[in-house]
């Protein structure tokens, strides 16, 4: 029996008990049999992980000298240049001499959202549980030994990098770390960690569990951040921990109830659920959005500052959450983008004489730009082989005008998935500001709108090119840009209609959509028609058609959503043929799509959407995962971090359900000979869809309509009549390739194959 079937059977047998339900989901656990080798790191840790979407813990070290690194999404060194960005608050060291040379066994449990470990020597056996309270700013570490041992504790704050640290004992141990009063700092950040102990040496006796609790607060949580951390640590009792555990289990139990899939493949199901666990540990409603490495920061100077990288890294981690019905995890996405609008308007006006907003490649929270060039010519020469540090006013745009629009894709995914009016009103000004910019920036030439000097790839000086880079400027009609601009204007028109605003502007937007240049095609080296990265390259040179790839997928498919088999079957056939030739272009034997550096969460679901066979995709995906993955199920790539959490869930979801082309398609790209089912996947139109495929036949489709919109669905039983049943048992028989079904708010409808009485 595969693990998902065991999970469902477990729920049926064990009833509603939250504790018992968590053990069923814990069947998808990750197992560690050796201490982590990549902790601390500036990139991806390979250790057991837990988190609550704000605070993350990374369990490093060896059994006798454990180190829990405590990261927090809102602890930033708010510099406009690297090495600013996300910083490490500190951690807790736990030392037990009797465990020197102990065996190592740990589990990362997605159901209970905890790290469970057991370390053994001839002198003692220690059991450990560590979790971050889902509803509070507390890390809980529980220790239990079969022999009397001494536990030495060190609560510490990371030091250096212009920070100020302090420590003390005020009934409990506490440490603090602050970034303040330095010349470049845009805003101060303070953090305090407090431990529910006033001594650094404790005795652990058999049969008695030791409960260590670290309370963590920043000035972004509360003005009384230090007092709050100390006070909360001092209030810890067994009953407090018991209540936190109850709330913790309830939160995670509700999270896992939001959707399910069963594909009869325990390998991919484990990655599916572990990936969602890791992202739920990284992102939470009402908290700062996660950067490139989420809250799993184990040292300062994280790669790329751990910032919000706007040309895909920031957006991609969220993509699977929309279709997986984990909408609350996406709630923090928009605020950094809205906070940067004032600066974005200045960039547009001062640098390009355009209205609207123009964003650099990297930003942070609270209106912070993280991506300025080094502030002196000497630093610039050292890092980028040129003294010219005033490129684009000193900001890293890297030749790209599209960074602000990239995030519109996520906003539209949430809007189309929920039709939440309050959300639409919140983000609509951002979409309009993007539209303002592109109304001004587009050029109408020979009856069509064209895009000049918005580059398909990043263009910048570096040591590899000797600081010479301007000869690489000049992209004309980048496929990335054409796709995202088309997405923008279609989206702003849809939202304008929904909110009944700006109707007078729609004629201009329609004109742009009608006259925007077509996606460039050409003849590939093997003589077939293929996609080009751009219509013409630098110095107005022709470019070879190189086919669909990660960057062009961003414009056309994810997050663009402007191409597909329903939208334009002929164009989609060209893209599908391009994907079929990826195997000939892979640079490494197991790297189909060339995603070792970036793009596993883009290329694999992109291939699904254009219709490449699912079995082949999964075969290639498994090889790519095994090429570089850590025991914590974090798929590793060179150019980014938590975006890989979306790779497996999004790929599977798109195989089971698609809706991005204004039509719901059930099992659109799944091998019909393989049984599969899904429950409450979210479709555009604010629909929750459930269906089962068994013995080659779709058994039925259930749709819950949240907003009472018309449900347009591709006939699941092609060429046959469909029986529609509503809640009141009223039935109707439907015919056709596409079924358009009026629904009411909250209504549940059921579709099945119609058989004549």
Give CB contacts under 8 A, 24+ apart, made by 455-458. Answer: 455/398, 455/399, 455/400, 456/480, 456/481, 456/533, 456/534, 456/551, 456/552, 457/551, 458/311, 458/361, 458/398, 458/399, 458/400
Task: Compute the mean pLDDT over every residue in the chain, rounded to the nearest whole number.
Answer: 95
Average pLDDT over residues 272-287: 98
Q: Pick left, alpha or beta for residue 619 (phi over 0 → left; psi -120 to 50 → alpha; otherwise beta).
A: alpha
Domain ranges of the chain: 32-257, 266-665, 684-753
Cα distance from N-terminal residue to C-terminal residue, the chain: 37
CA dihedral 458, 463, 464, 469 (to 10 degrees): 50
Confidence of residue 452 (pLDDT cuts 50, 70, 90): very high
Predicted local distance difference test score (pLDDT) of residue 663 = 98
Taking the C-alpha atoms of residue 39 and residue 32, their distance in angstroms, rounded to an integer, is: 14
Taking the C-alpha atoms of residue 343 and residue 79, their distance in angstroms, rounded to an integer, is: 15
CA dihedral 690, 693, 697, 703 (to 10 degrees): 0
Positive or negative torsion for Cα 543, 548, 553, 556? positive
pTM over 0.85: yes
Predicted local distance difference test score (pLDDT) of residue 189 = 98
What digits encode the pLDDT tens for the residues 97-150? Answer: 999 999 999 999 999 999 999 999 999 999 999 999 999 999 999 999 999 999
Q: Residue 14: is its pLDDT beyond 70?
A: no
Indicate the SS3 state at residue 315: coil
CB 754 within 8 A of CB 733: yes
At how many degrees (to 10) do helices 341-352 and 421-441 cross? 10
Average pLDDT over residues 447-476: 96
What digits encode the pLDDT tens for the residues 40-88? Answer: 999 999 999 999 999 999 999 999 999 999 999 999 999 999 989 999 9
What digits encode the pLDDT tens for the residues 563-573? Answer: 999 999 999 99
Q: Residue 7: is its pLDDT beyond 80?
A: no
Predicted local distance difference test score (pLDDT) of residue 15 = 38
Architecture of domain 32-257: Distorted Sandwich (2.70)
Query: What are the tokens at 390?
Result: 């005033």
Strand-pair category, 210-218 with 189-195: antiparallel
Average pLDDT over residues 378-397: 96
Helices (H), 283-420: 319-323, 335-339, 341-352, 377-384, 403-406, 408-418
Which residue shows structure tokens 């469909």? Answer: 722
Contacts of 537 (CB under 8 A, 6+ apart): 474, 475, 476, 543
Contacts of 676 (CB under 8 A, 6+ apart): 261, 262, 263, 264, 656, 667, 670, 692, 693
Cα separations in angstroms, 388 against 82, 161, 362, 378: 17, 26, 19, 9
Predicted local distance difference test score (pLDDT) of residue 575 = 98
Predicted local distance difference test score (pLDDT) of residue 757 = 78
Predicted local distance difference test score (pLDDT) of residue 11 = 40
Indicate the SS3 state at residue 186: coil
CA 722 to chain centre: 37
Helices (H), 611-645: 614-627
Nearest Cα neighbor of 639 from 733, 551, 530, 706 is 551
Q: With respect to CATH, is domain 266-665 assigned 3.20.20.70?
A: no
What digits encode the pLDDT tens for the residues 147-203? Answer: 999 999 999 999 999 999 999 998 999 999 999 999 999 999 999 999 999 999 999
What digits encode the pLDDT tens for the residues 357-387? Answer: 999 999 999 999 999 999 999 999 999 999 9
What digits encode the pLDDT tens for the residues 505-540? Answer: 999 999 999 999 999 999 999 999 999 999 999 999
Predicted local distance difference test score (pLDDT) of residue 205 = 96
CB 203 within 8 A of CB 151: yes
5 burial level (CB within 10 Å; 0-12, 13-18, 19+) = middle
Strand-pair category, 189-195 with 138-145: unpaired
Average pLDDT over residues 411-425: 98
Longest dimension (CA), the chain: 84
What digits encode the pLDDT tens for the residues 694-752? Answer: 999 999 999 999 999 999 999 999 999 999 999 888 899 999 999 999 999 999 999 99
The DSSP code sequence of 546-606 is ----HHHHHHHTSS----STTT-HHHHHHHHHHHHTHHHH-SSTT-TTS-SSS-HHHHHHH
* Domain 684-753: which CATH number of 2.60.120, 1.10.3470, 2.60.40, 1.25.40: 2.60.40
Positive or negative torsion for Cα 52, 55, 59, 65? negative
Helices (H), 182-237: 225-234
Taking the C-alpha atoms of residue 655 and residue 617, their distance in angstroms, rounded to an integer, is: 10
What digits encode the pLDDT tens for the residues 602-645? Answer: 999 999 999 999 999 999 999 999 999 999 999 999 999 999 99
Predicted local distance difference test score (pLDDT) of residue 584 = 94
Share of the chain above pLDDT 90, in %: 95
């Amino acid at each position: 029996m595969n693990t998902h079937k065991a999970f469902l059977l477990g729920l049926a047998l064990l009833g509603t008990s939250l504790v018992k339900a968590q053990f069923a989901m814990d069947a998808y656990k990750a197992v560690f049999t050796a201490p982590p080798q990549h902790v601390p790191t500036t990139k991806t840790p390979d250790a057991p992980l837990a988190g609550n979407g704000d605070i993350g813990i990374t369990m490093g070290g060896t059994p006798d000298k454990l180190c829990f690194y405590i990261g927090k999404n809102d602890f930033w060194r708010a510099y406009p240049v690297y090495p600013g960005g996300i910083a490490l608050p500190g951690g807790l060291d736990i030392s037990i001499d009797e465990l020197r040379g102990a065996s190592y066994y740990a589990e990362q449990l997605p159901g209970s959202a905890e790290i469970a470990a057991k370390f053994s020597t001839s002198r003692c056996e220690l059991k450990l549980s560590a979790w971050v309270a889902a509803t509070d700013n507390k890390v809980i570490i529980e220790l239990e030994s079969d022999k009397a041992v001494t536990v030495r504790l060190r609560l510490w704050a990371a030091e250096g990098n212009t920070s100020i640290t302090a420590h003390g004992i005020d009934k409990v141990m506490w440490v603090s770390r602050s970034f303040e009063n330095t010349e470049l700092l845009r805003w101060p950040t303070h953090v305090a960690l407090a431990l529910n102990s006033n001594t650094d040496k404790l005795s652990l006796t058999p049969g008695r569990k030791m409960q260590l609790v670290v309370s963590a607060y920043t000035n972004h949580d509360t003005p009384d951040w230090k007092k709050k951390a100390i006070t909360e640590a001092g209030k810890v009792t067994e009953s407090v921990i018991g209540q936190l555990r109850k709330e913790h289990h309830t939160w995670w139990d509700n999270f896992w109830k939001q959707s399910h899939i069963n594909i009869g493949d325990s390998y991919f199901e484990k990655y599916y659920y572990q990936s969602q666990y890791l992202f739920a540990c990284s992102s939470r409603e009402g908290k700062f959005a996660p950067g490139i490495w989420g809250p799993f920061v184990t040292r300062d100077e994280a790669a790329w500052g751990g910032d919000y990288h706007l040309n895909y890294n920031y957006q991609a981690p969220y993509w699977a959450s929309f279709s997986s019905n984990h909408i609350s995890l996406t709630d923090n996405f928009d605020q950094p983008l809205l906070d940067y609008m004032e600066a974005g308007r200045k960039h547009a006006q001062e640098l390009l004489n355009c209205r609207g907003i123009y964003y650099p490649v990297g930003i942070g929270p609270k209106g912070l730009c993280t991506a300025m060039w080094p502030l002196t010519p000497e630093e610039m020469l050292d890092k980028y082989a040129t003294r010219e540090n005033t490129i684009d006013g000193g900001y890293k745009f890297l030749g790209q005008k599209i960074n602000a629009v990239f995030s519109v894709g996520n906003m539209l995914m949430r809007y189309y998935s929920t039709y939440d009016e309050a959300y639409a009103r919140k983000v609509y000004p951002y979409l309009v500001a993007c539209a303002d910019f592109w109304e001004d920036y587009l050029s109408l030439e020979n009856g069509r709108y064209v895009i000049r000097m918005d580059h398909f790839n990043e263009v910048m000086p570096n040591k590899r090119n000797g600081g010479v880079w301007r000869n690489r400027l000049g992209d004309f009609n980048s496929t990335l840009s054409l796709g995202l601009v088309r997405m923008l204007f279609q989206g702003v028109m849809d939202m304008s209609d929904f909110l009944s605003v700006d109707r007078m502007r729609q004629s201009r937007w329609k004109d742009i959509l009608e006259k925007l240049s077509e996606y460039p095609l050409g003849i590939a080296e093997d003589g077939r028609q293929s996609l080009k990265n751009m219509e013409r390259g630098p110095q107005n040179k022709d470019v070879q058609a190189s086919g669909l790839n990660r960057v062009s997928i961003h414009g056309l498919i994810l997050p663009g959503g402007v191409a597909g088999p329903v939208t334009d079957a002929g164009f989609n056939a060209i893209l599908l043929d391009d994907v079929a030739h990826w195997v000939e272009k892979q640079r490494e034997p197991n790297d189909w799509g060339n995603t070792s550096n970036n793009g596993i969460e883009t290329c694999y679901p992109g291939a699904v959407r254009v219709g490449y066979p699912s079995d082949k995709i999964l075969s290639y995906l498994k090889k790519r995962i095994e090429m570089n993955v850590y025991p914590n199920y974090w798929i590793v790539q060179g150019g980014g971090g938590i975006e890989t959490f979306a790779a497996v869930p999004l790929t599977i979801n798109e195989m089971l359900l698609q809706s991005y082309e204004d039509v719901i398609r059930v099992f659109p790209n799944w091998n019909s000979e393989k049984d599969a089912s899904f429950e409450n996947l979210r479709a555009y139109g604010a629909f929750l869809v459930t269906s089962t495929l068994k013995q080659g036949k779709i058994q039925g489709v259930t749709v819950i309509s949240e907003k009472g919109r018309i449900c347009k669905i591709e006939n699941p039983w092609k060429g046959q009549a469909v029986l529609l049943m509503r809640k009141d048992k009223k039935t109707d028989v439907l015919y056709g390739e596409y079924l358009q079904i009026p629904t009411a708010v909250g209504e549940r409808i059921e579709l099945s194959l119609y058989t004549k009485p």
